[in-house]
């Protein structure tokens, strides 16, 4: 191939008609079918979240899920551009930033929910004020999102050759995993303390099935996002020259499938049906209103 052809970057001029796909950054042509399906599925999840968010006025939860789904749809649109031309710089720039940061918005939606769960089940079982959950995890998620976006942008503008960009993205993903791990630990701790409290008061009504379903799918979403983040850390561990970055099947299964399942799991685990209408999934809501939603034997 003539050395005047640039395979990747802002000045790329390679196309499938001129260059073999094996010398592209990913060394494969992204699947049109898979990426189209992901866009459609995220679009469906988005519509469901819009309906649920407006119905239950859960504005903060809706805000996080809306931008998470939109980022994923834009990102997979970028991969379709790379199906048309695997050397497309706009396609890579779009997908590496948007698909990287999308799950951070879903994590934020999950973090918003824990304080409501604590208020709903009983603040007396928590080691901390519900406000702490709210103000601790959201800033951590913003830091994670910022690092991932910065790392993705640096990697894309450097043709994937910026070690600093890869390191920043890994730092953001690692911090997201750490935050999720702390979140899971605190949630488990609260669940254990709540269970002990219930055993001490056997006459208290059991939790309604609706709450158990909610908690189950919320937990599923957390696990799916955690699996995805661990995969992306491993994928980027050797930069853009490692073996995992060139494996499209793993990307579809451990990135796309994990996150679309998490998006739909959060449709099922929407806080509205459990906690009722609120100003914004807000831990500042009055105790009087949440006490009225406490589980009763008739639920």
Reported as a single tens digit per residue, the pLDDT across 245-261 is 999 999 999 999 999 99
For 100-104, 197-201, 267-271, 292-296, which range has the lowest pLDDT when averaged over its residues? Answer: 292-296
Buried b (16+ CB within 10 A) or exposed e, 256-273: bbbbbbbbbbbbebbbbe
Q: Residue 268: name the closest of 233, 219, 234 by CA.
A: 219
Q: Residue 291: name the closest of 280, 275, 267 by CA.
A: 275
- 163 or 222, greater pLDDT: 222
Is residue 276 pLDDT above 90, yes or no?
no
User: What's the number of domains the chain is made of?
Assistant: 1
The CA-based diameter of the chain, rounded to the nearest angstrom, is 81
Q: What is the percentage of the chain residues whose pLDDT exceeds 90?
A: 62
For residue 165, tell me if it sits in a domain: yes
Q: Which two tokens stand for residue 23?
A: 């010398």
Q: 38 vs 31, 249, 264, CA distance in Å?
A: 11, 14, 12
Q: What average pLDDT does range 146-161 have in this prediction?
A: 78
Q: Would you state the pLDDT for residue 33? A: 98
For residue 255, tell me if it sits in a domain: yes
Q: 233 vs 55, 147, 239, CA distance in Å?
A: 37, 13, 10
- Domain range spanning residue 273? 104-291
- CA-CA-CA-CA torsion sign (137, 139, 143, 145): positive
Q: Which three-class secondary structure string do you get for the chain?
A: CCCCCCCCCCCCCCCCCCCCHHHCCCCCCCCHHHHHHHHHHHHHHHHHHHHHHHHHCCHHHHHHHHHHHHHHHHHHHHHHHHHHCCCCHHHHHHHHHHHHHHHHHHHHHHHHHHHHHHHHHCHHHCCCCHHHHHHHHHHHHHHHHHHHHHHHHHHHHCCCCCHHHHHHHHHHHHHHHHHHHHHHHHHHHHHHHHHHHHHHCCCCCCCCHHHHHHHHHHHHHHHHHHHHHHHHHHHHCCHHHCCHHHCHHHHHHHHHHHHHHHHHHHHHCCCHHHHCCCCCCCCCCCHHHHHCCCCCCCC
Residue-wise pLDDT for 55-99, tens only, equals 999 999 999 999 999 999 999 999 999 999 998 888 988 998 999
Q: Residue 221: name the closest of 145, 110, 138, 131 by CA.
A: 110
For residue 278, tell me if it sits in a domain: yes
CA distance 191 to 208: 15
Q: What average pLDDT does range 259-277 have in this prediction?
A: 95
For residue 265, tell me if it sits in a domain: yes
CA distance 119 to 160: 46
Q: What is the percentage of the chain residues whose pLDDT exceeds 70?
A: 86
Whole-prediction pTM = 0.88
For residue 73, tell me if it sits in a domain: no
Is residue 284 pLDDT above 70, yes or no?
no
Q: Would you state the pLDDT for residue 8? A: 59
Residues 256, 59, 188: CA angle, nearest 5 degrees: 65
For residue 71, tell me if it sits in a domain: no
For residue 49, tell me if it sits in a domain: no
Q: Would you state the pLDDT for residue 31? A: 97
Q: What average pLDDT does range 35-61 have in this prediction?
A: 97
Q: Would you state the pLDDT for residue 288? A: 37
Residue-wise pLDDT for 3-37, tens only, equals 566 555 666 678 888 888 988 889 999 999 999 99
Is residue 154 pLDDT above 90, yes or no?
no
Q: Which two tokens stand for residue 216?
A: 């189950």
Q: Which two tokens stand for residue 207?
A: 């939790």
Q: Phi and psi at residue 59, in whole multiples of 5°? A: -65, -40
For residue 131, tell me if it sits in a domain: yes
């Amino acid at each position: 191939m003539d050395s005047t052809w640039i395979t990747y970057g802002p000045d790329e001029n390679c196309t499938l008609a001129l260059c073999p796909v094996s010398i592209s950054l990913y060394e494969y042509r992204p699947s049109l079918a898979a990426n189209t399906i992901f866009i459609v599925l995220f679009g469906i999840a988005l519509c469901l979240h819009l309906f649920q968010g407006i119905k239950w006025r859960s504005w903060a939860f809706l805000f996080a899920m809306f931008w998470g789904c939109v980022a994923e749809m834009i990102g997979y649109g970028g991969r379709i551009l790379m199906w048309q031309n695997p050397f497309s710089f706009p396609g890579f720039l779009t997908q590496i930033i948007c698909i990287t940061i999308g799950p951070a918005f879903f994590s934020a939606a999950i973090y918003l929910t824990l304080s409501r769960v604590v208020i709903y089940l009983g603040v007396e079982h928590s080691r901390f004020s519900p406000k702490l959950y709210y103000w601790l995890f959201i800033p951590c998620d913003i830091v994670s999102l910022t690092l991932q976006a910065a790392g993705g942008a640096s990697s894309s503008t450097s043709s994937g050759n910026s070690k600093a960009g890869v390191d920043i993205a890994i730092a953001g993903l690692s911090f997201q995993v750490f935050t999720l791990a702390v979140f899971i630990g605190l949630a488990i701790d609260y669940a254990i303390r709540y269970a002990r409290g219930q055993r001490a008061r056997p006459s208290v009504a059991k939790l309604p099935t609706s709450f158990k379903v909610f908690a189950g799918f919320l937990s599923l979403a957390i696990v799916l996002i955690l699996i995805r983040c661990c995969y992306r850390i491993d994928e980027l561990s050797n930069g853009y020259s490692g073996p995992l970055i060139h494996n499209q099947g793993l990307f579809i299964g451990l990135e796309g499938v994990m996150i679309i399942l998490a998006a739909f799991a959060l449709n099922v685990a929407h806080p509205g049906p459990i906690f009722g209408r609120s100003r914004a999934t807000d831990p500042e809501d009055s105790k009087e209103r949440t006490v009225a939603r406490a589980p009763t034997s008739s639920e």
